[in-house]
């Protein structure tokens, strides 16, 4: 499931720099560079949300492109384009947009998650799992990315492959094997967040080295 523009963590820090009436006006894509540059970030985000709610993906793409024209280093402008391009099935371009987003905001877990979705939908599951992994390593509480990672892992490896990976992990750390079984299988099937919370609490307590070891075993990294 892709993350929506409304869920972007950066949005929480936005301040409405202009009057509400100005932010709620009908936005056009025409205008000079100076006019575009004068728009507040709140205006850009609000209209993007409106277009997303309408499922107007061509309109959202055009809006994101115009936003990037006004502020090429704004990660949200590239997130908007990635969101629209993914929905339009233009996966290579969506991947490039999310990568541009992450160049400016490497810790954007929502962009990592959506990048993973785009890799998955374009038939590149290993890259998808790496993108989801980046999301959960940045924010271990991000349960949606754990779900996407576990489900993609399961669908890619199949039952036999998952069993083999869990056996390897069990030999190294039985507690981690139980946690991964919970996230990769039980939660992916039930989607009951209560199932995932305890596992995530354990994963939050892991050191970077412990997480790296776990993923190294699961992903056959040497």
d(CA 45, CA 186): 36
Contact 53, 5 (CB under 8 A): no
Q: At what angle do helices 143-172 and 174-181 cross, to 10 degrees?
A: 150
- Output the pLDDT for position 32: 56
Could you list the mean pLDDT of each consecutive 10-residue stretch along the chain, which spans 222 residues?
Answer: 56 33 37 61 90 94 94 94 97 98 95 96 94 90 85 85 85 82 72 72 78 82 62
Nearest C-alpha neighbor of 69 from the set 79, 56, 78: 78
Q: What is the pTM of this model?
A: 0.79
- Output the pLDDT for position 33: 56
Radius of gyration of the chain (CA): 20
- Output the pLDDT for position 151: 84
- Output the pLDDT for position 218: 81
- Output the pLDDT for position 222: 53
């Amino acid at each position: 499931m892709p993350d929506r523009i409304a869920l972007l963590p950066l949005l929480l820090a936005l301040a409405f720099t202009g009057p509400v009436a100005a932010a709620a006006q009908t936005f056009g894509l025409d205008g000079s560079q100076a006019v575009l540059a004068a728009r507040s970030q709140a205006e850009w985000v609000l209209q993007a949300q409106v277009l997303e709610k309408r499922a107007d993906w061509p309109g959202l793409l055009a809006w994101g492109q115009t936003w990037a024209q006004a502020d090429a280093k704004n990660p949200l402008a590239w997130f908007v384009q990635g969101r629209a391009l993914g929905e339009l099935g233009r996966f290579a371009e969506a991947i490039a947009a999310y990568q541009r987003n992450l160049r400016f905001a490497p810790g954007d877990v929502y962009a990592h998650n959506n990048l993973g979705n785009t890799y998955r939908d374009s038939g590149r599951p290993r890259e998808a799992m790496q993108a989801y992994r980046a999301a959960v390593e940045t924010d271990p509480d991000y349960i949606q990315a754990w779900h996407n990672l576990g489900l993609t892992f399961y669908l890619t490896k199949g039952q036999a492959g998952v069993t083999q990976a869990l056996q390897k992990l069990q030999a190294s750390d039985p507690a981690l094997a139980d946690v991964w079984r919970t996230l990769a299988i039980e939660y992916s099937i039930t989607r009951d967040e209560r199932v995932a919370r305890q596992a995530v609490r354990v994963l939050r307590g892991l050191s970077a080295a412990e997480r790296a070891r776990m993923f190294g075993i699961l992903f056959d990294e040497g």
